[in-house]
Amino acid sequence: MGRRSEGPSTTEVDMTPMIDIVFQLMTFFIFTLNFSEAEQDDRIQLPLSQLAKPVPGPVEKPITLQVTSTNSVIYAGELVPVVQIGGYLEREKASLVNAGRQPADATVIVRADGRAKTGEVQEVVKICQEKGFEKFALRAQYDERE
């Protein structure tokens, strides 16, 4: 049989298709990369709304409070009972005042689960109001169904 017999031969694999694909994939992932620091949490199932179109610009320094279906609050990734968020908001307020701003200027984003009790959400809003926050953004997921 006609075999080459001069030592271990290096097989040359054509790398071109693989590199093509890899670069395509990389370009895709680069373009889908987003640096938005929007707080999203898998534990929250937002209610759907046709009017909840994504906002063009991010809200400046918002405070995000996520109300779960079991009626507790996720604040900065931590699960906190509703009655305890007052302390955390007090800290937020202090840092705002230190920066020369008022709590009334800040926006509190309320990401509440659709199955949460309305009373609990209102309770959270009330605690925020007592700390001086006035602007609230009730967040919903954009419903693309017609």
Partner 1 sequence: MARRESGSFDRINPDMTPMIDVVFQLLTFFMLTLKSVIPEGDFDIRMPLGAAAAAAPDDQLVPPIRVKMTAAADGRLAGMTMNGSPIRDFDDLRNKVVGIVGTDTGPNSLAENTEVELDCDYGLSYENVVQAITSVSGMVRDGQIVELIKKIKFTPVKSGK
* 95 versus 115: smaller Cβ distance to partner 1: 115
Q: Kindly state whether residue 96 participates in binding partner 1, applying the rule CB under 8 A.
A: no
To the nearest 10°, the Cα dihedral for 85, 86, 89, 91?
-110
DSSP structural state of residue 34: -
Tokens 């609990």 identify what position?
A: 120
Phi, psi dihedrals of residue 137, rounded to the nearest 5°: -125, 110
Give the range of 1-9, 17-25, 78-86, 92-100 binding partner 1 by CB under 8 A: 17-25
CA 135, CA 2: separation in Å to the nearest integer?
83
Give the range of 1-9, 79-87, 92-100, 112-120 binding partner 1 by CB under 8 A: 112-120
Contact 126, 86 (CB under 8 A): no
CA 66, CA 47: separation in Å to the nearest integer?
13
Q: How far is the CB of 44 from partner 1 (least distance, A)?
A: 10
Q: Which of 41, 80, 82, 137 binds partner 1 (CB under 8 A)?
A: 137
- Residues in contact with partner 1 by CB under 8 A are 12, 15, 18-19, 22-23, 25-26, 29-30, 32-34, 36, 38, 40, 46-55, 59, 67, 104, 107, 109, 112-119, 121-123, 125-126, 129-130, 132, 134-142, 146
